[in-house]
Structure 1
Amino acid sequence: MFRTVPAVAPGPVETAFFERLGALKAALGGTLDTPENVVAAALRALDRDRGYVVPGRGNFATAHLTPRCPRKRVALIGRRITRGAAETQAPAAAPATAR
C-alpha cells in the first residue's frame, strides 16, 4: 500500500530558532504556533492522505497569497520585517582595536 507523505509548511513555530537567531520579531507578525499544533496538523494530513498542509489560518493565507503578489512587494515586506527585527536587537559589541 502506498501512502502520501505530507509536506508541512508551518510558518513560525515556538522553538529556540528565533531566539538563537536573535530576531524574535522576524517571526512574521509575531504569532508563533506551538510544536504540538504543527504535529497534530501533520498527523491529520497524514490520516487524510493529503500531500500538503499549512497549519493555521494566517499561515495558510500567507502561503497562498504571497505567490500571487508582485515579487518586488514581497521583497519590500521581507526587508521591512527583517530590518525591524534587526533594529530591536541589542547592538553588537565594537571590535577591540590593537594599540
Structure 2
Amino acid sequence: YSSFSYITQLPLSKLKIDQSFIRNMLTEPKLCNVTETMIAMAGPLSLSVIAEGVESHEHIQRLKDWGCDEVQGYHIAKPMPLESLNQWLISTTLN
C-alpha cells in the first residue's frame, strides 16, 4: 500500500507483496497480472521479492517461475510458539 515514489527515495533492498495479491492470484487474472508485474519490476531495481500469504504448492511454483525470491505463508508453516520452532526447523531441514 505504498506509493511508487518511495521505491526510488528510500534505501530498499526487498519488496514484499501483500497477501491480498497472492491469496487469490490463481483465480483472479488481474491479481495474477499485477503480481507478475511487481516481481518483474523488482529485478531491474535490484530488489529481492518476498510474497506473503502463500497457501499452496501452485502458488510457490507460479511465484518461482516469475522469479520471486522468498515466500511465506501457511503452506510453509502455521504460526508456532518459539519452543516449537527449533524442532520444526530440524524436521524441515532433514526432509
Say yes or no: TM over 0.5: no
Higher strand share: 2
With the length of structure 2 as denominator, give the TM-score of the two structures: 0.27
**Highest CA radius of gyration, 1 or 2?**
1
With the length of structure 1 as denominator, give the TM-score of the two structures: 0.26
